[in-house]
Amino acid sequence: MTQTNQTPNPLLDLATLPRYDAIRPEHVNPALDVLLEEARKAVAAAEVIENPTWDTFVAPSEDVMERLGRAWGAVAHLESVVNTPELREVYNANIARISNFYSELGQNENLYARWKLLAASPDFASYNQTRKTIVEHAIRDFKLSGAELPDDQKERFMQIEERSSELTTKFAQNVLDATDAFALYVADENELRGLPADWKSAARSAAQADQQTGWKVTLKMPSYLPVMQFALSRSLREELYRNYVTRASEFGPTERDNTPLIAEIHALRQEGAQLLGFGNFSEESLATKMAESTTQVLGFLRDLAQRAKPYMQADRAEMEIWAKANLGYETLEAWDLAFVSERIREEKYSFSEQEVKQYFTEPTVLSGLFHVVETLYGLQFVPAEAPVWHKDVRFYRLQNKNGSEVGGLYLDLHAREGKQGGAWMNDVRGRRKLADGRVQTPVALIVCNFAQGVDGKPALLSHDDVITTFHEMGHALHHLLTEVDELSVSGISGVEWDAVELPSQFMENFCWEWQVLPKLTHHVDSGKPLPRELFDKMLAAKNFQSGSIMQRQLYFSIFDMELHGKTAATDPKAQAEAIQRELGIPLPPAYNRFPQSFSHIFAGGYAAGYYSYKWAEVLSADAYAAFEEEAEETGNVVDPAVGARFRAEILARGGSRPALESFKAFRGRAPEIDALLRHNGLAG
């Protein structure tokens, strides 16, 4: 085994869980040397098999490919949650190396020919649906990787893949660096009027940690969002807004400007799509999704936009009238929206987000979330020891009520320096049956960016934070509750991208159930659960400005699909403004550079796929309606019987069959849009 400083390389020791606490930048290159060599030998052996079968061709290469994928996945994860200059340097240096290996793999004509031989073999007819799906996906993916291209075009396609990997990584790093680089130290407490006490306590502690006086304000969500919602100082809100929406643009250091990266990423995606025979990148993206065409997707989005538009316009008119009457604002500016929205909500429904937040202490939210999951699916979360990447990270074993092992889950919930913003779930390893007959159980991780607790009290979550936690748990359960034994379609693997949000959005609904809320809440001072009176106010306000919220998501989705549907160079700012005009959304200030920090589509997996949030919400709302219908009969929305069906037909099946088939197996029919409109208050 390769050794570093006489210590076994932790990236080569993946028999159980990654040794996150032991992985160092100096381990990366030696580990990849070994793992890439192993993988190339496995490829060479597979290339010469004359009569490929599952046992001689598919299974043998899975071990080494998984070892490589898990090791690189651990490095990529650490780069996103405990970023250091040394780790970033070695990560960036190996992006091309990894990208080239997988590009070569995807274009290997000998392997492609053997997959096709396997599909044409007499054995194929006897395969179960899972194995047939794997073979069909493999052949499709070879085509999408350029396996059928002439040699000169293959070489160019590989160059495109390599450069794209470098650019998307750089895009995300620029956003992280621009976010981390900003700090405003406020000396006068009067500037912070309206902000809650726990925010000010955290801001003062942050300033002291930097050996500064006053209060530290940053662009990270736990700091930024409360300012936009609650700060009475209009000038403070404007300053933060301007810095937030110009991150990673020409208004900052040249080396962090994502503008040229967007242009190059777009051009490379279009060139690659056309090499593969698609008209544009949007068409290529849909080749592996549920949606059939860009026309279908854009029609779906614009239909929803037409439904949401009058609600959004009514929201805007109400805000403008209120702001003029109560604040004297002649013009409602972008940095006023969250503030005025919160004031109207408080006035209309007689509660504030800060009042609600006092009830959602982090330990109680997690306990209540675990209770919902355990009740629905007959599970248990058991705190356990595991190597972690930061002292705040927790690990749990997930098991069935009979004690049988299901998998493992890491939780990393708090914002900090060197950690990318946002929230996500990722897999650590997938479920598969090993050669000796044992089952490798899946492991997942959930990352969020909530504020830490202050003054010895537990962290307080907003109700939106609670919804986010449930959302990411839905993703994790999709991965953990799989019963598929073949790695490439178990858990979240092989699931169409526009269906992957179904289990996550589904879980959000439980955050609005009175049956659930008392178990999620425990007042930080009194210890009392959320009062029914306050819950009723929250429920009345549930769809407050839902038309505006939906129109914003549709704007992002249409921008993404339209941008990637254009083959010629395009000005993302002009494109964004054109769509905002179409949807009736007032334009932001001219300096707004939203696309430059739109990491979902320029650095994540959502390119020409952001629409999947709304597409999957149709599925998730309709799936949840099955629980609502049962509750009408039993009074129990957290119903184990319906939960068992959802687990068996949706969560357990992974990518082993089309998502639409899984939905129909659970619901007994095709999805309908009615529940989505009803849940969002747009049914009228």
CB count within 10 Å of CB 464 equals 14
CB 369 within 8 A of CB 473: yes
φ and ψ of 553, to 5 deg? -65, -40
* Tokens (6 digits) for 392: 């705040």
Give me the numbers of helices (H) and strands (E) for the chain, helices first please: 26, 11
Q: Where are the alpha helices (DSSP H) in 276-336?
A: 281-286, 294-327
C-alpha–C-alpha distance, residues 163 and 170, integer Å: 11
Nearest Cα residue to 639 out of 623, 618, 659, 654: 623
Q: How far is CA 408 from CA 6, 381, 477, 580, in A?
A: 30, 9, 10, 43
Q: What is the sign of the dihedral through the CA atoms of 628, 634, 639 and 642?
A: negative
Distance of CA 312 to the CA centre of its chain: 26
Contacts for 531 with CB less than 8 Å, ≥ 6 apart: none
79, 161, 283, 472: which is the annotated catalytic residue? 472
C-alpha–C-alpha distance, residues 489 and 605, integer Å: 18
Nearest Cα residue to 572 out of 595, 552, 554, 591: 595
Q: Is 582 a catalytic residue?
A: no
Q: Where are the alpha helices (DSSP H) in 328-361?
A: 337-349, 353-357
Contacts for 666 with CB less than 8 Å, ≥ 6 apart: 623, 626, 645, 646, 649, 650
The DSSP secondary-structure symbol of 437 reads S
Q: Where are the alpha helices (DSSP H) in 145-257?
A: 151-181, 197-209, 221-230, 234-245
φ and ψ of 381, to 5 deg? -95, 125
Q: Which residues are catalytic?
A: 472
